[in-house]
Amino acid sequence: MGLTKIAVIGAGLMGSGIAQSLAMGGKRVKLYDSSKQSLKRAEDSIEKSLQRFVKAGTMNEEAVFTVMEHIHPVHDVWEAVKDAELVIEAVPESLSLKKLVFEEIDRLAPEEAILATNTSELSVTAIAAATSRPDKVLGMHWFNPAPVMRLIEIVQGEDTSPETIKAVEEVSQEIGKETVLVKDRQGFVTTRALTAHLLECIRMHEEGVANAKDIDKAIRLGLNYPMGPLELADLIGLDTMLFVSEGMTAAYGDRFLPPQSLRKMVEAGHFGRKTGKGFYTYTVQRETSKQ
């Protein structure tokens, strides 16, 4: 058994799913967030997600209890990382914030611990340069919803060692995920491809080519995607989408410029599912389309 003591820093949409995925794979996880409210919300969403596995018949209540037993929410970053073998960061998509977090966990975590970022597209090399251990820093890019999606995209920074990559490939496979190994280029493979797709779909919505429901239906049924692009954007979070778009524009120029409509939604605080309103409006019982 490879790395078993793991800390997750940032318990939002992804951090909660990452912690759940690791615990479902038998790992002991300490989950930390700077916001106590986020930590509480994470525990609730993990419980809800596990109940979906029970409803689907793939887990029983005893297994749910065991998974929850493996997740230890903590209110202090030192408590989270002090004995970690692997630390996975999942704070918002801001390079300056991620550098600050990595500086801190580099000071506090054991010197042999591996530090991984769940960034969607930012420079792993730049994040690693904020630490004293760039050989032990890499990208570990999970996908939303983490408990269900099968891939972890491993991103090799300029100084990431082969041993670090091997250890993270092993832990990913031990929890039932598949891995790919990519170079540290803005957007890696998945985000660069997805950005091109989502961008055009949001531009079509902005130009009024079709309404949100029909754009999603066309892509879901016509191209056999599991989800329409606008419902996916609401799932990812329009705030994250905007962060990513700005990062990709910095690297590749205007082709990834965010449409005004997306920026306006984010400025209005409409981030999608996580705020209850994005391309669609979400209520407890059902979602209604916003034409």
Binding residues for ligand LNIPZVSO, rule: CB under 6 A, are 49, 52-53, 56, 120, 143-145, 147-149, 190-191, 194-195, 198-199, 202, 226-227, 232, 236, 240-241, 244-245, 258-259, 262
52 binds, among ligand LNIPZVSO, ligand NAD, none (CB under 5 to 8 A by kind): ligand LNIPZVSO
Nearer to ligand LNIPZVSO, 171 or 238 (CB): 238
Q: What is the dihedral of CA 5, 6, 11, 15, to 10 degrees?
A: -130
Between CA 53 and CA 55, with CA 54 as vertex, the angle to 5 degrees is 90
202 binds, among ligand LNIPZVSO, ligand NAD, none (CB under 5 to 8 A by kind): ligand LNIPZVSO
Residue nearest to ligand LNIPZVSO (CB): 120
Q: Which of 256, 258, 121 is nearest to 196 (CA)?
A: 256
Single-letter code of the amino acid located at 16: S
* Rounded CA separation 139/88 (Å): 9
Minimum distance, C-beta of residue 190 to ligand NAD, in the bound complex (Å): 9
13 binds, among ligand LNIPZVSO, ligand NAD, none (CB under 5 to 8 A by kind): ligand NAD
105 binds, among ligand LNIPZVSO, ligand NAD, none (CB under 5 to 8 A by kind): none
Angle, in degrees to the nearest 10, between helices 61-69 and 36-55: 150
Minimum distance, C-beta of residue 206 to ligand NAD, in the bound complex (Å): 21
Tokens of 291: 């034409």
Work out the number of other CB atoms within 10 angstroms of the CB of residue 260: 9
Work out the number of other CB atoms within 10 angstroms of the CB of residue 115: 28
